[in-house]
């Protein structure tokens, strides 16, 4: 009888441990980090002709289709990270335009929210042949993660 009682106690203890482990695993799974944002989907929205400093320019305007899938904190001011020139309150994530060969064209270091990805652009002096394709990289400086977009056209 004593052996049976000990076996039942041991079996009961093992069941309690298994149940507690399963509960703890569900708790950890429920508080797991959200999936990382996807790569941006870049597209041309328009071109604007303007004059500045006595020169004529063409601004190539873009939007990011899936900008709503980026968390707001990725674009919060990050005074603890290196500044962008004299801007000590630049955002956590910077956005850079590149031509299809990887040459940097322009960048943004102070976007304040994901919706601001709907108004990004680069400009070339009128008469300069634009690259056929461009892409952006969103560089999350806090996590050292880069999100590279598709190649987007530069003509309407």
- The pLDDT, as a whole number, for residue 28 is 52
Whole-angstrom Cα distance, residue 65 to residue 146? 17
In a domain, 37, yes or no: no
Q: Please report the pLDDT score of residue 8 as a whole number.
A: 47
pTM of the predicted model, to two decimals?
0.79
Taking 50 as the pLDDT cut, the residues of the chain under it are 8
> Are residues 149 and 117 both part of a single domain?
yes
**Which two structure tokens, joined as six digits, stand for 142?**
């806090």
98, 134 Cβ separation under 8 angstroms: yes
- Residue 28 vs residues 9, 23, 36, 143: alpha-carbon distances, Å: 29, 9, 18, 22
Query: By residue range, what is the domain housing residue 4?
Result: 1-32
What's the number of domains the chain is made of? 2
Look at residue 18 in the predicted model and tell me its pLDDT. Answer: 54
Radius of gyration in angstroms for the set of CA atoms belonging to the chain, rounded to a whole number: 26
Whether residue 126 sits in one domain with residue 62 = yes
């Amino acid at each position: 009888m004593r052996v049976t009682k000990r076996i039942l106690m041991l079996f009961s203890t093992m069941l309690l441990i298994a149940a507690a482990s399963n509960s703890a695993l569900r708790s950890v799974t429920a508080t797991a980090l959200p999936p990382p944002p996807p790569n941006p989907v870049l597209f041309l929205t328009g071109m604007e002709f303007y004059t500045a400093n006595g020169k004529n320019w063409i601004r190539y305007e873009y939007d990011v289709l899936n900008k709503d899938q980026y968390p707001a904190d990725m674009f919060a001011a990050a005074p603890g990270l290196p500044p962008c020139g004299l801007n000590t309150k630049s955002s956590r994530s910077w956005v850079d335009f590149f031509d299809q060969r990887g040459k940097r064209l322009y960048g943004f270091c102070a976007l304040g929210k994901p919706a601001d990805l709907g108004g990004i652009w680069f400009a070339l002096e009128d008469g300069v042949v634009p690259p056929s394709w461009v892409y952006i990289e969103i560089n999350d400086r806090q996590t050292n993660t880069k999100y590279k977009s598709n190649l987007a056209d530069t003509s309407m």
